Amino acid sequence: MLTHLEKGKNGENLAIQLLIKRGYRIRCQNWRYKNLEVDVIAEEGDVLVFIEVKTRTSAAFGMPYEFVDPAKQAKLVRAANHYIAANKYGGEIRFDIVSILYAEENDKYYTRLIKDAFWPD
């Protein structure tokens, strides 16, 4: 049986594979600024995309993407602002979510890419 950390790491690896397959160019993974983190920063065309990867083992309390609540969104926006400033980026941005549900009974991961998942207030 996989540990919690192993499931999360597998989920992030699957997310990277999915994004590359969909034409994203990965800039970095697990980018950090102090206590803030962005799971994946990538480019799709000329858009810079900040991507949250959320892996869960059950949908009993909701789908993985539903756990990217307003507080988490605010942290992602703050992290994105720091990345943009540090890299002097002036183009278009977007926030996506890769939602991954791991089914232990058949050891399968089910992925869903949600583009334009939210916008900063």
Residue range 89-111: mean pLDDT, rounded: 91
Burial 48-59 (b: 16+ CB within 10 A, else e): bbbbbbbbbeee
Q: CA-to-CA distance for 86 and 106, rounded, in angstroms?
A: 43
Q: What percent of the chain has pLDDT over 90?
A: 69
Collect all residues with Cβ–Cβ distance below 8 Å to 25 and sequence separation of at least 6: 42, 43, 44
Show me where the domains of the chain are located: 4-114
Single-letter residue type at 113: L
Per-residue pLDDT of 36-95, as tens digits, reads: 999 999 999 999 999 999 988 877 677 778 889 999 999 999 999 999 999 999 999 999
Structure tokens belonging to residue 60? 């009993």
The side-by-side arrangement of strands in the sheet containing 108-114 is 25-33, 36-44, 47-56, 93-103, 108-114
Residue 2 confidence class, pLDDT cut points 50, 70, 90: low
Residue 23 φ/ψ region, left for φ over 0, alpha for ψ in the -120 to 50 degree band, beta for the rest: left
Q: CA-to-CA distance for 23 and 34, rounded, in angstroms?
A: 30
Q: Which fold has domain 4-114?
A: Trna Endonuclease; Chain: A, domain 1 (3.40.1350)
Single-letter residue type at 14: L
